[in-house]
Amino acid sequence: MPDIKHTKQRLELGNETEIASSTLNMYGFTLPQNITTIPFALFRYCSSLTTIDIPDTVNSIEQCAFEGCTNLTNITLPKNITTLPLALFRNCSSLTTIDIPSTVTSIEDAVFESCTGLTSIAIPKSVTAIGSSAFAYCESLTSVTIPAEVKEISFNTFSGCAKLSSIKFPNGIVKIGAEAFINCKNLTNISIPNSVREIEQSAFSDCTGLVSIILPNNISTINAFVFNNCTSLEAITIPKSVSEINVWAFQKSYNFKIYGYSASFAETYANQNNIPFVALDDTPIITNPTKLSVTIKSVTPTTAKIYLERTAGEAKGARHSFC
């Protein structure tokens, strides 16, 4: 057994670095100030551990160190770590928030998987990679901003985040992996930057609250089941670059319109599958041109925003929208 000093409320680990999980069933925990590494699965399944202090001398935390600590509510990570390793906090269901140090560059696979109480998380700008299932089944997570240096959303990363309503992608992201947002029922609108070149199969499958989505200009294929069972989908904008749409891409998704350009593959696909098609290259007609000059700023599937400049003597910048 390791050298343990304990009081009624807390335990302190001495010079040794391993401890049986059962020892911690009734205590909090304080690590010694000179420790540099938290070993593999050190606190795994310590189900009654509620709080732990990690000194800044720690520069490495190994895989599964806190996995299954279902009552862990408070943890402060040291300032010198660079990686959150595999399954570090998996099934820590009482963890509601956590501050990730700005030194961290990698969040590995399943780090926060099934942290069902996690409501918010700030991913620092230093992070360049987020692994598969990193936030899968975080059922209370409502919003996420992906840092600018992350180039890929991996397989299953946000799968089952039922309350996720907002996701902000950086302009440099190039790939959204398979099942990345599967079963994210509260996502309603998604804007994907034009840097994205590939959206893998089932990426947004079972997003039953999804109403509209604008696809980026650089993708060439809409893969199988990408929008499977998106039962609330009303509008999807498909760019000219798309030359292939898998036969199962919109399986169990009904009553939506495709917005695209005349003579494009999107129009051909819509016609072949009896899906209503709206041409984006149709020019809106404005009456009384002597009073108004018109500049089209943006066109979305449901609304074209028109900025109106009044003639001399009238206030400038009046805004009008129409359906």
- What are the pLDDT digits (tens) for 190-230? 889 999 999 999 999 999 999 999 999 999 999 999 999 99
**Torsion angles phi and psi, residue 321, rounded to 5:** -130, 150
pTM: 0.80
Q: What is the pLDDT of residues 105-161, one digit of tens each?
A: 999 999 999 999 999 899 999 999 999 999 999 999 999 999 999 999 999 999 999
Asked if residues 125 and 105 have their Cβ atoms less than 8 Å apart, the reply is no
Q: In this predicted structure, what is the pLDDT of residue 251?
A: 95
Is the per-residue pLDDT at 27 higher than 60?
no
Q: What is the dihedral of CA 289, 294, 298, 304, to 10 degrees?
A: -30
The residue among 22, 55, 60 whose CA lies nearest residue 38 is 60
Q: Which helix (H) or strand (E) holds 244?
A: strand 244-245
Sign of the CA dihedral with 224 first, then 116, 54, and 40 last: negative
Distances in Å between the Cα of 56 and the Cα atoms of 14, 36, 38, 62 are 17, 8, 12, 15
Q: In this predicted structure, what is the pLDDT of residue 310?
A: 33
Asked if residues 155 and 131 have their Cβ atoms less than 8 Å apart, the reply is no
Pairing mode, strands 129-130 and 106-107: parallel
* Confidence grade of residue 63 (pLDDT, cut at 50, 70, 90): very high
Q: What is the pLDDT of residues 276-310, one digit of tens each?
A: 999 998 644 333 434 333 333 334 444 333 333 33
The residue among 76, 80, 117, 115 whose CA lies nearest residue 99 is 76
Instruction: Decide which of 160 and 2 is more confident.
Output: 160
Average pLDDT, the chain: 83
